[in-house]
Structure 1
Amino acid sequence: MTDKELLDDVTAVGDEELARSLKEVWHVNRYLGGNPALFRHMRELLRKAPRDRAVRVLDVATGLADVSLALAAWSRRHAIPIAITGVDIHPRILKLAAERTAHAEAIRIEQADGRELPYPDGAFDVGFCNLALHHFEEEEAVLVLQELSRVCRFGWVVTDLERHPAAYAAAKLLAKFVWRSPVTRHDGPLSVRRSFTAGEAAELIARANVNGTVKRHFPFRLALIGHG
């Protein structure tokens, strides 16, 4: 897929518009099935991690770090000590994420490329990447899965859209009637077109040669789960 989303080149988007679009993406993820799929599998992984210290968690392509904030809140409610490192490749997105998490002691924000993470093997207990895999070409997506497997001891979760005609139609309706940001209106339907089917996601795992499975979730969500 050669078409690029506007968020793939944030230099073309102003700070206010960038923040507004990322917030709209967060609301879609929160209310249209993305977060439940991610949290279901993350909870399973977190319960496998050691409890004698804070669980080390990696958030790849963190965006506004909303998922990290929600995960930190969940961990507090369940008395699970956690230390989250949120990474992104874009400096301007990192600045927004750092501002958004300034009050959260459990979260730190760092610049890193999910295709070549600057961390040693097993540096984290678990990791996740939410709603970002479709931004990568297939070979790059394979690298992301390999890197998550390398740095996460107990496993990882990658959640994203599932490419489907009905999901594309729904995104077109949201772009026309709900989303206000021109960035989201452009990127939303394109995100569905660029996303993977369940079969393609399974093929990515096979090509990465990692221990993983694919689960489908309603509505039109995929969860790729890496088993440590």
Structure 2
Amino acid sequence: MALIIKSSAFGFVHSAFSFHKYMPDLSYRTDTLEIMDDFDLPSAEITPVLEGLGKMNALFGGHKSIIKSLKKFAVGNGYSVSDWGCGGGDTLIAIAKWAKSKQVDLNLNGVDAAPSAVNYARQQALNYSNIYFTQADVIDEAYLIKPVDLIICSLFTHHFDDERWVKLIQNMEASAQKGIVITDLHRHWLLYHAIVFITHVFTRNAMARNDGPLSVRRGFKKQELLVLLKKAQIDNFKLTWRWPFRWELIIYKS
């Protein structure tokens, strides 16, 4: 019986990895666009992915990581926090729950360019009067986004090529009054295979199966981030590796 179980488990894992018959070259960031980069995706397509991302962020500590970083800025009553690339708004909702538990009054704003994502986020946050959303392109429409104390950005900056990444950081730096907290993917073969496994075993969603591994290929090596930060003329920052294969970038304004 034990042999049969082990054999079945091996076949289960082997079949999951067989979807990708080659190991992509991870020595460079790919510029291949993700399906999610299409701002005109209908709700029927993007909603299941946003739901899945929210669950993953909660399961793998993404929300806790952002909240822990916020504490480094001594966030207090009246602070304003904006989540650029907010997706389904799950990070802001997690922050709102944490702030309520600590009796801290925060003003929370989510920014996303995709109308379907903003509509979904608004529905999810209906019970939170201190959360509002802005539909805007963070590169070309940053003027539509109100300045805030802190900007957060979780698993979002990898969607931009190097030139637009630099512009994004410069826009953030101009808008944030106190600081910026960014978390994003470390481009690594182990993370790539883990994402392939997770997306092919636990979901049948075509977008998740395509964008999950692709997002790793669009992730960063440490030296790449350091070069990009230099191009953006950012020198007051702290870059830290976090489990699971995430970079935490904190930019201080003073």
Matches within 5 A, 1:88-107: 88-107=112-131
Does the 8 Å contact 1:201/1:224 carry over to 2?
Answer: no
In the TM superposition, structure 1's runs of 4+ consecutive aligned residues that sit over 6 Å from their partners are none
| 1:85-118 deviation line (CA, Å, top 9, x unaligned) | 1111111211111111122111011112222412
Separation in structure 2 between the aligned mates of residue 180 and residue 72 of structure 1, nearest angstrom: 32
Query: Please, what TM-score do these two structures have when normalized by structure 1?
Result: 0.91
The question of whether the paired residues in 2 share the 8 Å contact of 1:213 and 1:225 is answered with yes
User: What is the rounded CA distance, in whole Å, between the counterparts of 2:143 and 2:224 in structure 1?
Assistant: 28
1:114 and 1:40 map into 2 onto residues whose CA distance is: 24
**2:219 counterpart residue number:** 195
Question: Which residue does the alignment assign to 1:2?
Answer: 31
How many residue pairs match? The answer is 222
Q: Does 1:17 align with 2:42?
A: no
Give the equivalent residue in structure 2 for 1:226: 251
1:37-76 equivalences under 5 Å are: 37-45=65-73, 47=74, 49=75, 51=76, 53-76=77-100
Q: CA deviation at 1:119?
A: 5.5
SS at match of 2:72: helix
- Indicate the residue corresponding to 2:237 in structure 1: 212
Q: Tell me the TM-score normalised to structure 2 length.
A: 0.82
Structure 1 position 37, deviation (Å): 2.6
Larger Rg: 2
Q: What is the root-mean-square deviation of aligned Cα atoms in Å? A: 1.7
Check if 1:152 corresponds to 2:180.
Answer: no
- Whichever residue aligns with residue 91 of structure 1, its letter is P
Q: Kindly provide the amino acid, as one letter, of the partner of residue 143 in structure 1.
A: K
Instruction: Determine if the alignment matches structure 1 residue 35 to structure 2 residue 35.
Output: no
List runs of 5+ in structure 2 lacking aligned partners: 1-29
**Unpaired runs of at least 5, structure 1:** none
User: What secondary structure sits across from 2:143 in the alignment?
Assistant: coil
User: How far off is 1:36 after superposition?
Assistant: 3.1
TM-fit CA distance, 1:41 = 1.0
% identity of equivalent residues: 28
